[in-house]
Structure 1
Amino acid sequence: MSTHTDSTYKETISHGELAFPIKLYHTILKKKQHDLYLHWHAEMEIIYIAHGFGTFQIDNAPLDVCEGDILFIKKGALHSGTGSTLGCECYTLVFNLSFLQNQTFDVVESTYLMPLSKEVLMFPLRISPDDLGYAAILDCIKNMILLFETKPCAFELIVKGNLLSLFGLLFQNNHIITLKQPPLINKKLTAIKAVIAYIHEHYDQKISIKTLASISGYSDYHFIRFFQDETGMKCTDYMNHVRLSKAHHLLQQSDKSITEIAFDCGYENLSYFCKKYKNHYGMTPASSRRHS
């Protein structure tokens, strides 16, 4: 699942079509590569871990996942993911809750869908194989995966029905969480979003820790630990990841020389860029271009 983001690191790609705004992604997260790197969007996600192990960073908390886990990522959550040594195969459904809502304001809308949309009721973060109703919940997800892969007649109708059935199972098995009061504004999350927005806008320039610390409101010393605690990555590693992702895109989509691309992505030393690129992608920039 490739990630395209704006200056606030909000994902800008559309998921599905206007008339059917839901999409399935199949991703294999690899060791030491944040293939699903830090981003957020207005849609929610359901992620099924089909094989392997990995670690997701969701808002300000790391979450180790294993085969069989089902994650529910709420709208607006800043998240990323990486695989373990064995890798992590994921199926992800991305959609807006409005896809299921209607204008009649019936009991389904007023009792279940509207409170979920307003976040008065919250989805669980994770459902694991030992949890109540897991088998039936997983069946709904596997049915939707198969429907997207085969696209039989009326698959859109059946997908929507499966999604509603899935929500019903979450309610039946007491996995939906009732909030006693609205969630507080997460100041740390706001600071992290501001920092990554700056990195995204200025990746082609020299970025100092002092500048990023100032944006976050922390001292230089505390910022380094703050960033790693909140994202699961060192700040320098994250900046390299953003720059290398931009470079990878340019290698595939432009005729610029490797030297030009290195400088355009904030690397002043070509040898250092090539070394970092090979460590990240397992091949040199030149080999990567030949394989595009």
Structure 2
Amino acid sequence: MLNFCKIVRQEVRDLDKSPMLREEMDMPDPLFPMKIHRNRFGKSGQTTFPNHWHAHLEFIHVMEGEARFTCNAEQYDAKPGDIFVFNSTDLHYGITLSENVFYYAIIIDPVLLHSRTVDAVETKYIAPIASSRLRFANKVSDDPLVRESLTSLIEEFFGEAFGYELAVKSWIYRLLTALLRHHVAVQFSHEEYSSRLRKLERIDPVLRHIEEHYSRKLSVEELAAVAKMSRYHFGRTFKELTDRSVTDYINFVRVNRSEFDLRHSDKTITEIALTHGFHDVYYFSRLFKSYKGVPPTALRKTN
């Protein structure tokens, strides 16, 4: 038991010492490291957030409209009432599927959850969650306790009544209890999590590079150089983390950006294709249909 406690303490210290985690500690109140964003989007086809990952736990509660969230290459359609959980190091991306989309995003730094002492709660539950060795299912539907916990948490947070921090933290623990009992997806060893974290740190600049330069030709060699990896090792690592080849991922970004212009601009389909990196409009049309299920001409007509 003593050795196990030492391991848990070391994992917590490792999390606290990571420079990457400190850089992402963008919280309004450092003494109460959590925040809630109200997110509203008026148009269909808008990117709600680019593909990214972070060290925090994030919960999304969809209130209005429809959207699609991609997490570690798995796609989930979202409607009012749906709840999404993005674990630490989950790669996630969002796009609206309708007008007037509104959701809450609750972001919690794992530091908020830790106990002062290494007790049973810390060792059995909080340390594995904080170190992302224990991971929750990304989509939760029709769970009254999870919904009640999130709704009450949000009300307490924005109400700011005396003692609201205590109430919010209690609802977070109740939320985690419901997730632990019914929505655990996988458990990683400490070594598996550490390996994934190292790989994501190498790939993260590549994801940003693609978002900024997707409209021009991007070679695997160029992206491997950004990651400072060999071409072979980069290709394998990228596929492992995103479940897509490099070419497939770039096309995925291009098609999503093209969809927004098809819905909300007066550009011709040829102009849109060229703007977003496609030099053959027929290839663009075939590829767009393979990703979206309809050709760009049909999507343009519906808008």
- CA, structure 1 residues 186+234, in 2 after alignment: closer, same or farther (shift >3 Å)? farther
Paired letter, 1:143: S
1:156 shift after superposition: 0.7
More helix by share: 2
1:102 shift after superposition: 1.5
Superposed counterparts of 1:142-161, under 5 Å: 142-161=151-170
Corresponding position of 1:103: 116
- CA, structure 1 residues 234+14, in 2 after alignment: closer, same or farther (shift >3 Å)? same
Cα-Cα RMSD = 3.6
Paired letter, 2:30: L
* Counterpart contact for 1:144–1:159, Cα < 8 Å: yes
Corresponding position of 2:187: 179
* Residues 72-129 of structure 1, C-alpha deviations (whole Å, 9 max, x = no match): 1011222221111234311111011220111211111111111212333212211101
Corresponding position of 1:94: 107
- CA, structure 1 residues 214+97, in 2 after alignment: closer, same or farther (shift >3 Å)? closer
Corresponding position of 1:168: 177
- Which residue among 193, 207, 210 is the counterpart of 1:196? 207
Tell me, in whole angstroms, the C-alpha distance in 1 between the residues paired with 2:249 and 2:200: 11
TM-score by length of 2: 0.62
Paired letter, 1:233: V
Corresponding position of 1:258: none
* Residues 9-30 of structure 1, C-alpha deviations (whole Å, 9 max, x = no match): x985713311111101110244
1:176 shift after superposition: 2.2
Secondary structure class of the residue paired with 2:204: helix
* Residues 177-207 of structure 1, C-alpha deviations (whole Å, 9 max, x = no match): 452653564999677534223357x76xx95
How many residues align structurally?
221
Corresponding position of 2:284: none
Secondary structure class of the residue paired with 1:169: helix
Tell me, in whole angstroms, the C-alpha distance in 2 between the residues paired with 1:11 and 1:227: 27
* Counterpart contact for 1:15–1:94, Cα < 8 Å: no
Superposed counterparts of 1:61-72, under 5 Å: 61-72=74-85
The answer to whether 1:15 aligns with 2:27 is: yes
- CA, structure 1 residues 194+60, in 2 after alignment: closer, same or farther (shift >3 Å)? farther
- CA, structure 1 residues 155+190, in 2 after alignment: closer, same or farther (shift >3 Å)? closer
Q: Percent identity?
A: 21
1:212 shift after superposition: 4.4
- Which residue among 22, 33, 40 is the counterpart of 1:28? 40
The answer to whether 1:225 aligns with 2:248 is: yes
- CA, structure 1 residues 33+75, in 2 after alignment: closer, same or farther (shift >3 Å)? same
- Which residue among 230, 234, 243 is the counterpart of 2:254? 234
Gaps of at least 5 residues in structure 2 are: 1-19, 236-244, 262-274, 276-303
TM-score by length of 1: 0.64
Gaps of at least 5 residues in structure 1 are: 1-7, 242-271, 273-292
Tell me, in whole angstroms, the C-alpha distance in 1 between the residues paired with 2:91 and 2:186: 22
Tell me, in whole angstroms, the C-alpha distance in 1 between the residues paired with 2:108 and 2:145: 21
* Counterpart contact for 1:195–1:212, Cα < 8 Å: no
